[in-house]
Amino acid sequence: MRQLRIALRLVLMQIRSQMEYRGAFWIDRIAQIITYSSSLAVIWLLVDRFTELAGWRWPDLLLLYSFHVLGYATGAAISFTQMRDLEERVRLGTFDSLLTKPISPWLYIVFSGFNIGYAGHILLGIALMVWALWIAPVDWSLLTIAYFIASLLSAAMVTAAFLTMIGLTALIWVRSNHLYSIFFGFWELTRYPLDIFPVGIQGVMLTIVPLAFTSSVPVAVVLGKQVPLLGDWAPALALLAGPFFVLLAVLCWREAVNRYQGAGG
Amino acid sequence: MSAYLAFAQSGFLTQLAYRNEVWANLFGKLVQVFARVAIWTAIYGGAGVIGGVSLEEMVTYALLGGAVTGAARYETVVGGIGHALRTGDVAVWLLKPVHFPLYVIASEVGRALYRFTFLVVPTVIFVALFYGMLPPASFFHGAMFVAYWVLALAIFFLIAALFGLVAFWLLTSFSLEWLMQALLNLLAGQLIPFWFFPEPLGAIARQLPFAWIVYYPSAVWLGRLSPEECLAQFGIGLGWAAALAFGVWLLWRRASGRVVVQGG
């Protein structure tokens, strides 16, 4: 309970400090919205010319894109920049001082660096999702609505867990940032249906880089499409992936903090 | 001139020191190139030719798409100028007998050449082994591709420097990096060549300087431009490069005047 209050306090402090530069903050958000819209425009140009991509039409791809943006932004807000900068904390030795504080270092790092910069992603993601849900061919029932929300949460959890696991390697190897370029290589692929990729890449995206669960698997389930490799297991696995990878990340974090020796020298 | 060559050389050599990163980047690039090829294979389905363009040509286009954008990073140019502005380092550069934007470009050119040699070429060869790649349409087109590639690099970095210099007025380079990405996404022809664009969008995109970064070099390789067109478009590209260089020179002159206002 006390931890929760501190987390909330840290987030409020972070918001207040970011809002000191309100003009610059919103200029940056608008620039991000424009860039994400341009990536979506490229997909629109593709389906405008070719009608479909492996059986996915514009409403399907729009839903996929909005899910990808929303799930990623929610997860990354509590992981990406914080974990990317962990490398710097380790190198400078400032992580060591966190270990002596009467609060979980994870809690402090994540919430003191809570990234409200994802506000732009969230605004765009919601707008696109409303548009997509308007035109996408989904048979809505209470069950599908509940499933949709739960799978979006699961997607955010996979994103946060995976970004955290990349970042915590800095505790052991000191450097971690180059691994993020592999992450973002695969991350860009989650804007497209999993079906279009060679089996090798599909396999990787369902296991060691589980990003397929952050967009194309749950969205295919909601749209009633077949998911390659997973078949009938897809609906359940899309929901279980979040909790599973969060658990894995928690275990990895504990292990890494236990083994942490400092940057040495 | 020799000073800028030295900056480029040191940019190249510093990359050698981070070999782990190169492996990670190589893998990241490989995934992206595979993805571009996969998208086109999926679109073509069973069809051999769409709109007069064969799947082999599109796979080749996808592989060539990273020749400049896979090697060159605009972030370091835009961000580098923004960083120098924020930290005040830019004042030190005013004392030196070098042109600051040219220095930033030169050291990034060195890094780009490194990435081209050790990242782009291996990934293209590797993916080409799986999917095949067409050779240049003729010896002339191959030679012109090389010239276009150099021009593409120049245009790419000049645009990046222009964006970086705008930071002197906007006081943030973060949004400028993102905006440059937005323009590259749409107007360079990275994923979709302009012949698949709806008109008049395609016609407009062909006229803008971004087109020389990906679209024209790849179109030349594939022989979609006649020799006369190759030369004419190259001339227009040179014109764009000159105009951009003039823009950078002008903005830098204005900007260095503003630094005084910001100092302290």
pLDDT for the residue A264: 62
- Closest by Cα among A72, A250, A66 to A156: A72
The residue whose two tokens read 């595979």 is B34
User: Which of B21, B175, B191 lies closest to A31 in CB terms?
Assistant: B175
What pLDDT does B130 receive? 85
- Answer whether A20 touches B (CB < 8 Å): no
Global pTM reads 0.91
Q: Which residues of B touch A48 (CB under 8 A)?
A: 198
Q: What angle do CA A161, A30, B154 make, to 5 degrees?
A: 95
Instruction: Supply the pLDDT for residue B260.
Output: 53
Contact B35 A192 (CB under 8 A): yes
Q: What are the pLDDT digits (tens) for B82-115?
A: 888 777 777 787 777 888 888 888 888 888 888 8
How does pLDDT run across B160-188, given as a tens digit for each residue?
Answer: 999 988 888 877 788 899 999 999 989 99
pLDDT in tens, B3-49: 888 888 887 877 777 666 777 777 878 888 888 888 898 888 877 78
Element (H, E) at A68: helix A58-77
Structure confidence at residue A265 (pLDDT)? 47
Q: Do A196 and B38 touch (CB under 8 A)?
A: yes
**Residue contacts between A and B (CB atoms, under 8 Å):** 103
What's the average model confidence in pLDDT over B60-79? 86
* Closest residue on chain B to A204 (Cα): B31
Q: How far apart are CA A63 and CA A133, in angstroms?
A: 7
Closest-CA residue to B184 (of B25, B82, B68, B79): B68
Contacts of A85 (CB under 8 A, 6+ apart): A113
**Arithmetic mean of pLDDT over chain B:** 86
DSSP structural state of residue A56: B
In chain B, which residue's Cα lies nearest the Cα of A45? B197
What is the extent of the structural domain holding B104? 2-262
Of B28, B170, B197, the CB nearest to A182: B28
Give contacts of A196 with chain B, Cβ < 8 Å: 38-39, 41-42
State how far the Cα of B89 lies from the Cα of B80, in Å rounded to an integer.
Answer: 10
Q: Can you give the pLDDT at residue B144? A: 93
Q: B178 and A28: CB-CB below 8 Å? A: yes
Q: Which positions in chain A touch B176 (Cβ < 8 Å)?
A: 31
Whether the CA torsion B168, B169, B175, B177 is positive or negative: it is: negative
**Average pLDDT, integer, range B196-202:** 90
Chain A CB contacts of B192 under 8 Å are: 42, 45-46, 49
Contacts of B47 (CB under 8 A, 6+ apart): B55
Cβ distance A45 to B197 less than 8 Å, yes or no, reads yes
Mean pLDDT, chain A cut into blocks of 10 residues (265 residues total): 87 88 88 94 92 90 95 94 90 88 89 91 94 87 91 95 93 84 88 90 90 93 87 89 95 92 68
Residue B259: pLDDT over 90: no
CA distances from B136 to A120, B106, B150, B207, B221 (A): 43, 29, 17, 24, 5
How many domains would you assign to chain B?
1
Residue B264 confidence (pLDDT):
45
| Cis status of the peptide bond prior to A105, with omega within 30 of 0 | no
Which ipTM score applies to this complex? Answer: 0.87
- How many CB atoms sit inside 10 A of residue A170's CB? 25
Would you tell me which residues 35-54 of chain A have a C-beta closer than 8 angstroms to some C-beta of chain B? Answer: 35, 37-39, 41-42, 45-46, 48-50, 53-54
A38 contacts in chain B (CB < 8 Å): 181-183, 185-186
